[in-house]
Amino acid sequence: MHPDLTEFEVLVNACLDGLASEMQLERLNQLLRSDPAMLDAYIQMADLNSCLALDAAKEGGPRRVLSESGMDQGRDRGALFSLRPLQAAAAGLIIGLLGASAVWAYALPKARMEAGKIVPLLSEGFEDTAWLPEPGFPTRTGAWFGDLVKGVSASEECSAKEGRHVVALRPSQRQKFSYAFRIFDLSEVDALSSPVSYSLEVSASFHGSSPGAVDRYQIRLAAFREEPAAIKPMWNGGTLFDYLLKHVARTVNAKEETDGWQTLKETIEIPPGTRSIVVSLAAGMASESAAKALHYLDDIQVRLVPSHSSN
């Protein structure tokens, strides 16, 4: 026995590795039945080891695991995924109070659930008034580009959807819509290295500035295999559809009698091999003859949603 490990830790490690003898399982069973605190500790250690095993599977390498006392055990918990069925069952069968495989069933599914959780990528309310908008299509991640006017304080004409500030889209004289762009590099998102399939979900709130007019709003999402810096020539050069992996768009007209903020939501399933996703938010007048006017944006949410999730 390692001098810094307790008998309990040695027994749990042997059990989770599938190496415990019948005598060790019997002794561990006695400890767990006699002390509820040990049962809680066992579940926590099993959960920790299963999460580390999932990390090892995602990154293709071994994980060195800490025991409850914090000592490095130097064992590859990736082996947890390759335990023979009888060994795996033994991890749960030692606790008769919980039933066959109860603890084992608790550990791995919880790890998978964590790997498949909703992942927020952006929550934008434009409360930081020090930022400077950049014109045109994105040349890098982490910033807004397009026809944006620096964040303005909410006014009687347009109260904020959230917080105290909004951002304005100035009218474009060359095109029907005014645009706000952002690009996301999915290679930077750890969650996508798991076996779970994800979609990218975007919601944004729009507001017009011409009472009685019919406004048109759009969310457009596009997935590419290429890195973010390579997308601009494709987007502006007329070859966009030669490179798209997937493309979705949602366009709505705000009815004349509708007043206030209009919230749109769109989702794109992420195809295998996707590196970059472009988020395009656009606003304009529904009628070609209508005078161009400012539009406003606020409360933009971007998140990764597991394909099985309905939230």
Residues 124 and 111 in one domain: no
Domain C-terminal end among 57, 81, 115? 115
127 and 108 together in one domain: no
On average, the pLDDT of the chain sits at 75
Check: CB of residue 32 under 8 Å from CB of residue 42.
yes
Q: Are 166 and 208 in contact (CB under 8 A)?
A: no
pLDDT at 113: 42
Do 110 and 142 lie in one domain? The reply is no
Same domain for 34 and 160? Answer: no
Whether residue 105 is found in the same domain as residue 247: no
Q: Residue 107 burial by CB count (10 A; 0-12/13-18/19+): exposed, middle or buried?
A: buried
**Which pLDDT value is given to residue 237?**
79
Tokens read off for 282:
């656009």
Q: Which residue has the tokens 């206030």?
A: 260
Does the pLDDT of residue 68 top 50, yes or no? no
Asked if residue 102 and residue 130 are part of one domain, the reply reads no
Range of 64-73, 85-94, 153-162 with top mean pLDDT: 153-162
- Residue whose structure tokens are 């930022």: 131
Find the largest Cα–Cα distance for the chain: 86
206: burial class by Cβ within 10 Å (0-12, 13-18, 19+)?
buried
Q: Give the pLDDT confidence score for residue 47 in this predicted structure.
A: 61
> Is 311 inside any structural domain?
no
Q: Is residue 2 part of a domain?
A: no
Same domain, 92 and 193: no
Q: How sure is the predictor about 205, in pLDDT bands with cuts at 50, 70 and 90?
A: very high
Are both 105 and 129 inside the same structural domain?
Answer: no
What are φ and ψ of residue 115, in 5° steps? -65, -25
Containing structural domain, residue 170 = 119-306
Residue pair 296/125 in contact by the 8 Å Cβ criterion: no
Confidence of residue 155 (pLDDT cuts 50, 70, 90): low
Range with the poorest average pLDDT among 57-66, 247-256, 260-269 = 57-66
Q: H helices within 217-270, ranges in order?
A: 231-236, 240-243
pLDDT score of 91: 45
Residue type, 300: I
Average pLDDT over residues 109-120: 61
Q: How would residue 75 be classed by pLDDT, with cut points 50, 70 and 90? A: very low
Whether 1 is in a domain gets the answer: no
Q: Are 182 and 277 in contact (CB under 8 A)?
A: no
Here the tokens at position 12 are 């749990």
Q: How far apart are CA 25 and CA 37, in angstroms?
A: 18
Cβ–Cβ under 8 Å, residues 215 and 208: yes
pTM comes to: 0.62
Q: Within this chain, do residues 174 and 46 fall inside the same structural domain, yes or no? A: no
16 DSSP 8-state letter? H
The answer, yes or no, to whether residue 187 has pLDDT greater than 80, is yes
Q: Which amino acid is residue 29, in one-letter code? A: N
Distance in angstroms (rounded) separating the CA atoms of residues 76 and 49: 10
Q: Domain boundary at 55, 81, 115, which?
A: 115
The CATH number assigned to the domain holding 281 equals: 2.60.120.260
In the chain, the number of structural domains is 2
Question: Could you read off the pLDDT of 207-261 as tens digits, one per residue?
Answer: 988 877 889 999 999 999 999 999 999 998 777 888 899 999 999 998 755 668 8
Q: Which residue has the higher pLDDT, 280 or 29?
A: 280
Write down the pLDDT at residue 154. Answer: 58
